[in-house]
Amino acid sequence: MKFFIDTANLDEIKEMADLGIVDGVTTNPSIIAREGKDLKETLIKICNMVDGPISGEVLAMDAETMVKEGTEIASWHKNMVVKIPMTQEGIKAVGELSKKGIKTNVTTIYDAAQALIAAKAGATYVSPFVGRSDDVLMSGLAMLNQISRIFRIYNIKTEIIAASMRTPAYVIGAAEAGSDIATIPYDCMKKMFWHPMTDVSIDGFMIDWKNAMGDKKIL
Ligand code: E4P
């Protein structure tokens, strides 16, 4: 399973990318606004930090302007993926961008019907929002499982990015659902390193060593 990081914070991206665990980056207008920096400058910096798909979202709501914005975003770097909201106009734009060979990520997906439409239009990726589905008492992981099953039955090439991940349990759920990718916020990624028994076990090893060997070191 590939891990994308769902942030535009360069320090967060660098910290995780330096560990070799980041395959790509996703952003959205809220994420970019949180950093308060220029969109193009930020996305190009991210492209220079992570050699993988980097999603930048269009702002327009009509297909014609989405295609123009998407073409502009794609021209910024070879790894740019154009993120398009799941609307009828968005799907029109996805079709046109696909014809131009531009990669797209259809975002704000909340059910399998939307995912099928996006795949049919030629989307490179679909992003089902798991956490936000749970916010409105839908089962985000059930939706993800359904999309994953359908894509496998029909051998659909569009990759699934499990989005709106809130905790490591969501990421495990996405992996179990067979999602190709999970896009994970920095705080959630940090939590994935930790387990209380890991700390207890390491402490135990160090105490046993010290009791028997004192200050003896390897180097
Ligand atoms: C997806 O690409 C979105 O950027 C993101 O996962 C939304 O997640 P949120 O619900 O944590 O804002």
Cβ count near 87 (within 10 Å): 16
Q: Ligand 1, closest atom to CA 183?
A: 6
Confidence category of residue 82, pLDDT binned at 50, 70, 90: very high
Mean pLDDT of 84-99: 98
Which residue, by CA, sits nearest to atom 10 of ligand 1? Answer: 164
d(CA 33, CA 17) in angstroms, rounded, equals: 22
pTM to 2 decimals? 0.97
pLDDT digit string, tens, across residues 53-79: 999 999 999 999 999 999 999 999 999
> Are the C-beta atoms of residues 117 and 93 closer than 8 Å to each other?
no
Mean of pLDDT values over 180-186: 98
Residue 107 in contact with ligand 1 by CB distance below 6 A: yes
- Does ligand 1 come within 6 angstroms of the Cβ of 29? no
- Active-site positions read 83
- Atom 9 (ligand 1): residue with closest C-alpha? 164
- Cβ atoms within 10 A of the Cβ of 143, count? 22
